[in-house]
Amino acid sequence: MPIVSFKKVHKSFEVREGENLMKALLEQNIPVASSCYSKGICTKCRVQVVEGAENLSKPNALEKLDRERLANSKSALKDDERLSCQSRVLGDIKIDTGYW
């Protein structure tokens, strides 16, 4: 089973392959910012993928649209960021956010 670990916090946990990242974090009582109920609109649930970006599902249309629509904006997703509500864990990853 894939392992989710954290850059600053010495904690990790296993998830089922294909599990939604935001759901997995919330099930572990790890806070995730969000105001759109996992619809991929608010982009508050973004995480920085420190290691294992290839072990997440490919960015979907919502994430691609955000990058295109907000390309020159500070709020646009960076290349190493993903929306946790739109990402599925396929292998081991290490993540971080500004609020953990």
| Domains, the chain, with CATH or none | 3-96 (3.10.20.30)
Contacts of 58 (CB under 8 A, 6+ apart): none
**Could you tell me the pLDDT band of residue 71, with boundaries at 50, 70 and 90?**
low
- 4-13, 50-59, 67-76, 88-97, range with the lowest pLDDT: 67-76
**Contact status, residue 20 vs residue 28, Cβ threshold 8 Å:** no
Write down the pTM of the prediction: 0.92
Reduced to 3 states (helix: H, G, I; strand: E, B; else coil), residue 66 is helix
The C-alpha atoms of residue 9 and residue 12 are separated, in whole angstroms, by 8
Per-residue pLDDT at 70 = 67
Q: pLDDT tens across 73-84, in order?
A: 777 788 899 999
Q: Which residues contact 21 (CB under 8 A, 6 or more apart)?
A: 4, 47, 56, 82, 84, 85, 87, 88, 89, 93, 95
Looking at every residue in the chain, the average pLDDT score rounds to 92
**pLDDT-based confidence at residue 64 (cuts at 50, 70, 90):** confident
